[in-house]
């Protein structure tokens, strides 16, 4: 009687995939109800990162320290040359991948990152471990890696190292066990992360996410089945077909298992088989192969180095592509950070590129699939590394110029076709995704407005009585007349429903509500403010008005309720030209538009001595190229207002080449002879600063928080089963 066969238990990779698909299903079923899972996903990510850096320290020191002096000298020089060649291929690939991302129509509300001083990195501290313990505490991976490599190299020549290495192995094994315990939670962790993402991400966000998946997958196949085996055929006696045929088994096995480590024995046998087939084997060659495969394993492999492209993708995804000058630091620091796992390198690189740390959640979601491709490419990389290095050591290397020419031409053509194809597809897929113009055009007041009317510009129909102040008239009439600029985003403007809205309109309604009075809004232009105020057109002006010495001579105004930062708005394609004052002042015939000449302080004129400033009736003239706005190079505005305009005109961009302390106050002008109204306004502003009102209004109208009237995400439970509203 035959024994019943045991059912095979699902492995971790299968369970992780189940967790992924169940998480997606849960997110689609429950929708935004899955947002609460994010905290559990964050906890899992924290556990993953917990032991990574200590494990790097122990494995690098122990791995290098175990080498003997003779063997290490023999292998070091040759192996390093081959590694440098392969790493160069990965770096070039990472640099080329951003070319596959099409230009997005993108703009955003004002962010303090526009005017905050750029984060300064201590390059010496980043790479030179002056204090290794501080480097560990600050998560400075490159410095930690360099310290560990130096420690490992120093151990090579020390005779009495066995006891120390035993301790290192023991600690490493302990860390490994902790990691394995955490890794067992991967299916659950991936479920929480995926459910949260699938339940809250919009279709637009999901569409953009495919940019990383597609580019990484294409790069993996081009390198794994194309360039790497072809490079082996150019530099060694082996044929491309043989290299590809033998290496593909390891590629597929690594993809299926999701682990390079389990493929190492197979890789050793595959390389030996290659040399035997060409009758180039032997005991010495096979001994070398047995050392080279595990020796190359701890170093960053191509699959891991390619994940650096997630940083360039994240920048594109957020609508802020990396600038050219950021790449050297990203590549240099990224290389050393990849001595560890991606769970520590990606957060480090996101911080280095000043990108939101929550992008790591998206990386974790995509990494369920990407990690398989990464390990598959790592298998081919180790195979080619071992083949090339063994050939170098056995003097079998030979450069075949004809094959090199074919490889160069075919690589360039394959790269161009791939980049063009991906760029075309992503461009098509992202069409119509921009909606920020609709967002700002449809924004509403946070609170219900008081009774208000908009009247034609004219003196107050109820003149001041003899000896009466404007404050007394406001109380007598129960109405305050407030001047506003009808086309002054984001301070005062008409939304798509023809409602008067904006930061200062919001503040005006709150002021009137607290006084228990009505409002009559009177249109104005900044250039006629003093004149209209003097003719009693309005009691108070609330419309993003700058308080300057020149303006103070025409009217009185309140204490500043906000400070804004001076900036320029330029076409997207010219942002680099206006990135510094030096480059700006080298331009000839520079014409800059300005809607409110009052903001042109003496300091500004000193900073831009060669610029000719053109008065505009509205900032809109610059963006639409009408009237005085034709043929202008830039618009001089506050960064806050400029950001709001770029939401409507996303082909323009705010640049801040000025000193970081160059800000100006916004005030509420009032009739000069009425000190009581001024005292009331000043006291009210002080109260609103301290009770959080101004901050709440700022968050809404300037930072855009809560500006999008989001409908609940589509979900089965709401939109199909109708179990909830």
Per-residue pLDDT tens over the stretch 456-487: 999 999 998 888 888 999 999 999 999 999 99
CATH fold of 29-429: 1.10.3860
What is the pTM for the complete model shown? 0.69
Distance CA 552, CA 546 (A): 10
Antiparallel, parallel or unpaired: β 556-557 and 669-670? antiparallel
| pLDDT > 90? residue 698 | yes
Strand order of the β-sheet with 500-501 is 487-488, 492-494, 500-501
Instruction: Give the 3-state secondary structure of residue 13.
Output: helix
Distance CA 613, CA 601 (A): 12
The full set of domain ranges for the chain reads 29-429, 448-560, 562-666
Which range has the worst mean pLDDT, 460-469, 501-510, 560-569?
460-469
At 694, list the tokens: 């101004």
Distance CA 679, CA 561 (A): 14
Q: Which value, to the nearest 10 degrees, does the dihedral of the CA atoms of residues 41, 314, 380, 92 take?
A: -160
Domains 448-560 and 562-666 share a fold: yes
At 396, list the tokens: 């079998």
Q: Which of 471, 464, 251 is nearest to 375 (CA)?
A: 251
Instruction: Give the 3-state secondary structure of residue 306.
Output: helix
Instruction: Give the 3-state secondary structure of residue 689.
Output: helix
Q: Domain 562-666: what homologous superfamily? A: Periplasmic binding protein-like II (3.40.190.10)
| 519 backbone dihedrals φ, ψ, rounded to 5° | -125, 140
Q: Residue 165: its pLDDT value, please? A: 84
Q: ∠ CA(121), CA(313), CA(141), 5° rounding?
A: 35
Alpha helices (H) along 51-202: 52-65, 69-96, 123-127, 132-137, 141-156, 162-183, 186-200
Antiparallel, parallel or unpaired: β 487-488 and 663-667? unpaired
The CATH number of the structural domain formed by 448-560 is 3.40.190.10
**Do 450 and 518 touch, CB atoms closer than 8 A?**
yes
More confident residue, 578 or 5: 578
Q: Which value, to the nearest 10 degrees, does the dihedral of the CA atoms of residues 106, 363, 380, 291 take?
A: 130
At 498, list the tokens: 């023809």
| pLDDT > 90? residue 687 | yes
Give the CA diameter of the chain. 118
At 43, list the tokens: 């906890």
More confident residue, 683 or 574: 683
Residue 237's contacts (CB-CB under 8 Å, 6 or more residues apart) are: 278, 280, 391, 396, 398
Tokens 């161009």 sit on residue: 416
**DSSP state letters, 180-229:** HHHHTTHHHHHHHHHHHHHHH--HHHHHHHHHHHHHHHHHHHHIIIIIHH
Which range has the worst mean pLDDT, 200-209, 234-243, 573-582?
200-209
| Digit-coded pLDDT (tens) for 398-414 | 888 888 888 889 989 99
Residues in the chain: 725
Beta partners for residue 453, in sequence order: 520
**Which span out of 50-64, 324-338, 586-600, 633-647 was modeled with the highest average pLDDT?**
633-647
Instruction: Give the 3-state secondary structure of residue 613.
Output: strand
More confident residue, 101 or 629: 101
Tokens 């023809």 sit on residue: 498
Instruction: Give the 3-state secondary structure of residue 571.
Output: strand
Q: ∠ CA(35), CA(40), CA(45), 5° rounding?
A: 115
Q: Residue 514: its pLDDT value, please? A: 95
H or E element that contains 490: none
Which range has the worst mean pLDDT, 271-275, 454-458, 495-499, 589-593?
271-275
**Do 243 and 274 touch, CB atoms closer than 8 A?**
yes
**Do 542 and 504 touch, CB atoms closer than 8 A?**
yes
Q: ∠ CA(170), CA(171), CA(174), 5° rounding?
A: 90
Q: What is the CA radius of gyration of the chain?
A: 32
Instruction: Give the 3-state secondary structure of residue 115.
Output: coil
Distances (CA, A) of 206 to 184, 363, 550: 28, 13, 52
H or E element that contains 638: strand 634-638
Q: Which of 139, 58, 636 is nearest to 352 (CA)?
A: 139
| pLDDT > 90? residue 573 | no
Residue 23's contacts (CB-CB under 8 Å, 6 or more residues apart) are: 190, 191, 192, 193, 194, 195, 197, 198
**DSSP state letters, 640-683:** HHHHHHHHHSTTEEEE--S-TT-EEEEE-EE-TT-HHHHHHHHH
**Do 58 and 171 touch, CB atoms closer than 8 A?**
yes
At 172, list the tokens: 């490493």
Q: Which of 379, 304, 363 is nearest to 339 (CA)?
A: 304
pLDDT band at 349 (very low <50, low <70, confident <90, very high): confident
Mean pLDDT of the region 260-280: 80
Distance CA 94, CA 215 (A): 10
**Do 518 and 478 touch, CB atoms closer than 8 A?**
yes
| pLDDT > 60? residue 681 | yes
More confident residue, 648 or 72: 648
pLDDT band at 504 (very low <50, low <70, confident <90, very high): very high
pLDDT band at 122 (very low <50, low <70, confident <90, very high): low
Q: Is 238 left (phi over 0), alpha (psi -120 to 50) or beta?
A: beta
């Amino acid at each position: 009687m035959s024994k019943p066969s045991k059912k095979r238990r699902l492995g971790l990779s299968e369970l992780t995939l189940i967790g992924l698909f169940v998480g997606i299903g849960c997110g689609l079923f429950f929708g935004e109800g899955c947002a609460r899972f994010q905290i559990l996903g964050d906890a899992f990510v924290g556990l993953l990162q917990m032991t990574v850096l200590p494990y790097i320290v122990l494995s690098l020191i122990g791995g290098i320290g175990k080498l003997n002096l003779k063997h290490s000298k023999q292998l070091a020089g040759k192996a390093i040359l081959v590694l440098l060649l392969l790493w160069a291929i990965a770096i070039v690939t990472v640099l080329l991948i951003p070319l596959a991302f099409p230009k997005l129509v993108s703009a955003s509300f004002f962010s303090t990152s526009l005017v905050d001083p750029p984060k300064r990195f201590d390059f010496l501290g980043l790479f030179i471990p002056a204090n290794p313990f501080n480097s560990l505490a600050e998560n400075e991976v490159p410095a930690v890696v360099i310290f560990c490599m130096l420690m490992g190299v120093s151990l090579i020549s020390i005779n009495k190292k066995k006891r120390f290495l035993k301790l290192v192995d023991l600690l490493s094994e302990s860390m490994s066990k902790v990691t394995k315990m955490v890794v067992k939670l991967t299916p659950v962790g991936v479920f929480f992360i995926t459910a949260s993402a699938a339940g809250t991400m919009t279709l637009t966000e999901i569409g953009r996410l495919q940019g990383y998946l597609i580019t990484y997958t294409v790069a993996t196949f081009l390198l794994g089945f194309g360039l790497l085996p072809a490079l082996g055929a150019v530099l060694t006696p082996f044929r491309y077909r043989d290299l590809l045929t033998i290496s593909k088994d390891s590629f597929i096995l690594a993809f299926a298992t999701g682990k390079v480590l389990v493929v190492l024995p197979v890789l050793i046998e595959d390389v030996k088989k290659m040399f035997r087939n060409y009758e180039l084997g032997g005991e010495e060659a096979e001994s070398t192969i047995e050392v080279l495969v595990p020796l190359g394993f701890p170093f960053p492999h191509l699959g891991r180095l390619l994940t650096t492209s997630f940083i360039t993708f994240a920048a594109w995804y957020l609508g802020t592509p990396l600038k050219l000058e950021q790449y050297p630091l990203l590549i240099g620091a990224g290389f050393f950070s990849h001595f560890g796992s991606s769970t520590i390198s990606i957060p480090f690189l996101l911080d280095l590129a000043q990108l939101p740390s929550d992008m790591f959640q998206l990386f974790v979601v995509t990494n369920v699939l990407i990690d398989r491709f990464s390990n598959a490419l790592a298998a081919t990389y180790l195979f080619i590394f071992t083949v090339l290095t063994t050939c170098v050591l056995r003097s079998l290397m030979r450069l075949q110029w004809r094959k090199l020419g074919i490889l160069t031409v075919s690589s360039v053509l394959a790269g161009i076709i791939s980049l063009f194809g991906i760029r075309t597809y992503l461009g098509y897929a992202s069409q119509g995704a921009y909606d920020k113009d609709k967002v700002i055009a449809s924004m509403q007041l946070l609170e219900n407005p008081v009774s208000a009317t908009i009247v034609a510009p004219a003196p107050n129909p109820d003149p001041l009585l003899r000896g009466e102040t404007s404050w007394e008239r406001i109380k007598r009439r129960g109405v305050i007349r407030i001047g506003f600029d009808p086309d002054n985003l984001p301070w005062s403007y008409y939304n798509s429903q023809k409602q008067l809205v904006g930061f200062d309109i919001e503040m005006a309604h709150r002021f009137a509500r607290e006084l228990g009075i009505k409002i009559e809004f009177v249109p104005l232009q900044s250039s006629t403010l003093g004149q209209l105020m003097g003719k009693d057109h309005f009691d108070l002006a609330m419309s993003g008005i700058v308080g300057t010495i020149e303006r103070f001579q025409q009217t009185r105004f309140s204490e500043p309720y906000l400070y804004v930062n001076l900036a320029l708005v330029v076409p997207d394609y010219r942002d680099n030209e206006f990135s510094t004052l030096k480059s700006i002042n080298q331009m000839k015939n520079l014409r800059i538009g300005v809607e409110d000449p009052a903001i042109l302080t003496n300091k500004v004129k000193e900073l831009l001595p060669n610029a000719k400033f053109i008065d505009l009736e509205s900032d809109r003239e610059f963006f639409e190229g009408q009237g005085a706005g034709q043929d202008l190079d830039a618009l001089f505005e506050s960064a806050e207002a400029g950001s709001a305009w770029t939401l409507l005109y996303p082909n323009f961009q705010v640049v801040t080449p000025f000193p970081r302390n160059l800000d100006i106050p916004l005030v509420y002008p009032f009739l000069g002879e009425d000190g009581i109204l001024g005292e009331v306004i000043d006291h009210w502003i002080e109260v609103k600063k301290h009770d959080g009102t101004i901050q709440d209004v700022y968050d809404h109208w300037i930072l855009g928080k809560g500006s999008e009237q989001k409908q609940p995400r589509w979900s089965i439970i709401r939109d199909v089963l109708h179990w909830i509203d």
